[in-house]
Structure 1
Amino acid sequence: MAQYPMTARGAEMLREELNQLKSVERPKIIASIAEAREHGDLKENAEYHAAREQQSFCEGRIQDIEGKLSNAQIIDVTKMTNNGKVIFGATVTILNLDTDKETTYRIVGDDEADIKQNLISVNSPIARGLIGKELDDTVNIQTPAGTVEFEIIEVEYI
């Protein structure tokens, strides 16, 4: 079975969601199904069918999270010595040499990626271009707008 890289924070967020689904959502859905059953004929009971569908989604998500956690390779960069190398979990500040614009990204697993929070997937073109590089390196990264040259100006393991 393949191992999937995940930050310690990402694993904790999945565990919290799993706990929420099992201890809050699942019992709520079971109660909804029981209540809908009391309304009688199940063939034409929209509440019952909606609750069953919700149960199906909930159980699917629980299985999905459990699968991801069981195959996760949790990487905690805060426990590693920062040698200036860009690795999974690192927070990297890059300077676009064309526009002088600085951007900071954290390289995370696919499930944690959220561009609005500057969390980029390890499989994204930017992350793939940065992994293995070091502080002060200049890298060319293929973007939809063409090749862009960046300088790595800061690498943090936070």
Structure 2
Amino acid sequence: MFFSAWVTLENEAGEEVTYRIVGADELNPKKHYISLDSPLARALLKKTFDDDVAIKNELKETRYTVVDINYGNR
């Protein structure tokens, strides 16, 4: 996946969340727009459908599976 993609992720509990990868000047958490520079967006770049992604911080690791990628309007 690349810049401007809508990506739907599923966590280990089966819950889904959708984000759009945008430039830093378009960041808007209420719209689920995440900056290209964020750890999650950087981990998602060049991933494809059904790939696994792990995001780690000092407290925990969160794992997701890519369940959908869309480049159109949501």
Shared fold, TM over 0.5? yes
- Secondary structure at the aligned position of 2:64 is classed as strand
**1:155: how far off?**
0.2
Find the counterpart in structure 2 of residue 121 from structure 1. 35
The within-5 A match list for 1:5-16 is none
Larger relative helix fraction: 1
**1:91: how far off?**
0.3
| One-letter amino acid of the structure 2 residue matched with residue 155 of structure 1 | I
| Larger RCO, structures 1/2 (Cα 8 Å, 6+ apart) | 2
Largest Rg, 1 or 2? 1
Identity %: 39
Find the counterpart in structure 2 of residue 94 from structure 1. 9
**Structure 1 residues 116-135: Cα deviation after superposition (integer angstroms, max 9, x where no partner):** 11000000011011011111
Q: Which of 52, 61, 73 in structure 2 is aligned with 1:147?
A: 61
Unaligned runs of 5+ in 1: 1-85
**1:143: how far off?**
4.2
**1:147: how far off?**
1.2
For 1:134 and 1:123, the matched residues in 2 are separated by: 19
Q: Which runs of 4+ in 1 moved over 6 A?
A: none
The within-5 A match list for 1:75-114 is 86-97=1-12, 99-114=13-28
**1:145: how far off?**
4.2
Unaligned runs of 5+ in 2: none
Structure 1 length normalisation: TM-score? 0.43
* RMSD (CA atoms): 1.2
Structure 2 length normalisation: TM-score? 0.89
